[in-house]
């Protein structure tokens, strides 16, 4: 944790995002962020799913939100609260096509949960910070449209999640110029991280354990393409992203994970230069 936050500070990052598919962090995380001057965009713990709105569930989430916001709201590092990760976007993009649960009802239940229940609760618990219904979201424009925008993630409003994975992410023309970008580009963790949770024999990117942890459909294919587009392949490794069986050794995976992070770092540099300076790299 110390290494993560100090690394962010040393390279000039002044904000990080606590993702809604993760967890509320331990107290020490927020203390470190306070000390290092790193602001936190903080999602509540809802992500990429439809949630119920029955009485017992609403009681449960009210208790969870009250407990954690009361616990951490006095940390100056917290910049903004966000209701969820990608649930508004998912409804509009029809991630879940269920005949018995049409989009209109999904929208109605979404508004009940995030706009009518969670938003006023957060406002009561913490009057000092803004609350956004979702990420990505069109901010005040989403509110003007009733709580679910026609086009969530419009770069003219709010924040976006950018995943034009198959394009060259080392060239400025690939990127949009949004008001705020809160998520983009994947990379793989290094071996010492992953083997805390999987067997070393599963340390290759098409293993059952690795695929189970890859929640973006086709995500490992896009990362392979990003790396292979910019770096020389190890001998004996097939460059076709449709035939990766010759690249499955643990030794290759060690190199591949590092190169995926290197690729992501350059992509971040390009995108941030556009946003901060309005200049090509």
Residues annotated as catalytic are 86
**Cβ-Cβ contacts under 8 Å for 22 (sequence gap 6 or more):** 45
Closest CA to 150 of 73, 97, 220, 93: 93
Per DSSP, 70 falls in state H
Q: Is 8 exposed, middle or buried (0-12, 13-18, 19+ CB in 10 A)?
A: middle
Angle between helices 27-36 and 55-72 (to 10 degrees): 40
Cis ω before 137 (30° cut-off from 0): no
Rounded CA separation 57/63 (Å): 10
In order, the DSSP letters of 103-133 are HHHHHHHHIIIIIIIIHHHHHHH-TTS-EES
Phi-psi region of 37 (alpha: psi -120 to 50; beta: other; left: phi over 0): left
How many CA atoms, within 13 angstroms, populate the side-chain half-sphere of residue 25? 20
């Amino acid at each position: 944790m110390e290494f993560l936050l100090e690394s962010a500070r040393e390279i000039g990052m002044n904000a990080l995002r606590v993702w809604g598919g993760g967890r509320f962090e331990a107290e020490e995380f927020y203390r470190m962020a306070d000390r290092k001057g790193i602001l936190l965009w903080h999602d509540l713990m809802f992500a990429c799913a439809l949630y119920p709105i029955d009485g017992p569930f609403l009681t449960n989430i009210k208790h969870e939100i009250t407990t954690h916001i009361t616990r951490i709201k006095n940390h100056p590092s917290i910049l903004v609260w966000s209701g969820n990760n990608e649930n508004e976007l998912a409804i509009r993009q029809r991630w879940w096509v269920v005949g018995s649960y049409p989009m209109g009802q999904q929208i109605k239940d979404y508004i009940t949960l995030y706009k009518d229940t969670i938003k006023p609760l957060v406002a009561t618990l913490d009057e000092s910070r803004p609350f956004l219904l979702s990420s990505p979201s069109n901010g005040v424009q989403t509110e003007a449209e009733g709580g679910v925008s026609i086009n969530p993630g419009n770069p003219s409003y709010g924040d976006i999640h950018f995943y034009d994975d198959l394009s060259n992410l080392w060239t400025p023309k690939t990127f949009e110029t949004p008001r705020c970008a809160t998520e983009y580009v994947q990379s793989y963790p290094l071996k010492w991280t992953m083997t805390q949770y999987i067997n070393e024999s599963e340390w290759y990117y098409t293993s059952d354990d690795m695929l189970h942890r890859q929640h973006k459909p086709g995500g490992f294919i896009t990362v392979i393409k990003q790396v292979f587009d910019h770096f020389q392949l190890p001998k004996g490794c097939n460059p076709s992203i449709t035939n990766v069986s010759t690249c499955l050794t643990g030794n290759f995976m060690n190199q591949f994970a590092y190169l995926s992070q290197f690729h992501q770092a350059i992509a971040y540099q390009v995108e941030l230069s556009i946003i901060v300076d309005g200049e090509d790299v």
